[in-house]
A and B are shown apart, each in its own frame.
Chain A
């Protein structure tokens, strides 16, 4: 896998790689993807089954409830006037 692609994927994944990491991963991913090309030989089947057993129609009734103390959760985060602090936007 070429370095440019590794850089692009790293950006999408919000990972900052050093140049030596970039080279290392380019090599590793190349080897692994080469092995993955075995998948090309397998027959294609149309499926939208995302689980190995069928999971269907599991729903929850619209009843509000509070299992965990919201205040404790809020206190465990970095807040200012009860709003959670986050980084710069622009």
Chain B
């Protein structure tokens, strides 16, 4: 079995690819303009952020990067495509010949390029007679298309591949997981000679279902001695089956020409200053190798939160990595929801200190757990250290208020007057305290002075 994927990932830019329409919209057809509607006389202008994200993705996938790129018009007629051509990249992808390793296997990445999304069609009416209703909010949303080699060998592997890929890509471009809307895939699957394309499958679960159904369908045909027809199919989400999609197979010759309205782009200029980000799974690999800990455990940490991985690495320098991992996946993970918003250099220091005290047997294991819990709850783990801490904080605040008595007066009518103090103290303390602590202490001090 050979499976190849053409994955379309929506980029989380704030405006569309070729116009300034917002990419988030509530009501249908509320984020539209002459450009994304293809009105006569309108013209595309390329979104810098979209191009940057595409470069980062292609680089991450180890592609050979183009030095100069341009765009092309792909002409075809369908109600969701306002200009009846899509601006895409035909003969100038951002990167080619890359790979992505999953389960120890390197899956080939043929190309990565940028293109615009068409609108979203809703089919209404009886099957076989459906008319269309279209929402053009999606028209012009930036997409990165990633085309893999047909190196995948099963629906499970394909699902796994896509899942891992998305974990990494999301970290690079900054989308949140669980947004099934933003990823669509076309899958090419062949059991024998002929290749069947299943188009426009939305989300991981549907992809797995579509591939399993299709693999099964082809298997049955071949077992019965029949031929698999080379065709385009689509996946019906409700009935969970693939169906022949003959409607789009009428005469279509994309007739690619260059897009003169946009010109060319020097990718080297774009690349300079674009940071290379360490993605979660890469980090898990590095952490696992460097600290000699279980990869699966490292993976669990990064998938929970990169901030947890930061905390682990700080611990792993101070104590045995195995011990660090146990504490991370144990008490720290248990309190993570509360701990995450409080994270700061000081909190990191406190946590490391607690674990060190346990390791050197100065406090018991259960006392250590209690103290971690206390830090997560924002309480002082021991009376002594917190008192010392509070003193420094209190004196910073007091010093500022002594020099700016007006603040106390202004605070009576406008609580935002406290912001000046908070800002000053945060800067002066250089990260010793998290913002919550400073806000509480400041308010306490000002209220105390109001008298």
Interface residues of A (CB under 8 A from B): 8, 11-12, 14, 48, 50-51, 54-68, 70-71, 73-74, 77, 79-90
Contacts and interface: CB of A to CB of B under 8 A. Distances in A.
B14 A84 contact: no
B23 A83 contact: no
Nearest to B246: A90
A67 B37 CA distance: 14
B47 A90 contact: no
Interface in B28-57: 28-34, 37, 45-51
Given A56-B264, A85-B131, A89-B121, A48 B92 contact: yes
B20 A67 contact: yes
Contacts of B266: 56-57
19 contacts: A12-B253, A12-B255, A14-B77, A48-B91, A50-B258, A50-B259, A55-B262, A60-B47, A61-B48, A62-B14, A64-B20, A68-B33, A70-B32, A77-B29, A81-B28, A83-B133, A83-B135, A84-B134, A89-B123
B48 A86 contact: no
Interface string B76-92: 01011000000000011
A74 B29 contact: yes
A81 B122 CA distance: 12
Contacts of B252: 12
B148 interface: no
A77 B384 CA distance: 71
A58 B46 contact: yes
Given A56-B263, A58-B263, A86-B121, A63 B131 contact: no
A88 B130 CA distance: 5
> How would you classify the secondary structure of chain B's contact residues: helix, strand, loop or mixed?
loop
Given A65-B20, A68-B33, A87-B131, A82 B28 contact: yes
Interface of B: 13-15, 20-23, 27-34, 37, 45-51, 70, 77, 79-80, 91-92, 119, 121-123, 128-136, 246-247, 250-253, 255, 257-260, 262-266, 269
Contacts of A57: 263-266, 269
B54 to A, nearest CB: 13
Contacts of B134: 83-84, 86
Contacts of A51: 260, 263
Given A12-B251, A64-B14, A64-B23, 9 more contacts: A57-B264, A57-B265, A59-B51, A63-B15, A64-B15, A65-B15, A67-B33, A68-B34, A90-B247
A90 to B, nearest CB: 5
Contacts of A86: 79-80, 121, 131-134
Contacts of B32: 70, 73-74
B23 A8 contact: no
Contacts of A88: 129-132
Nearest to B264: A56
Given A64-B21, A82-B27, A90-B129, A48 B70 contact: yes
Contacts of A77: 29
Contact of A59 (B37, B46, B246): B46
B190 to A, nearest CB: 26
B263 A84 contact: no
B27 A55 contact: no
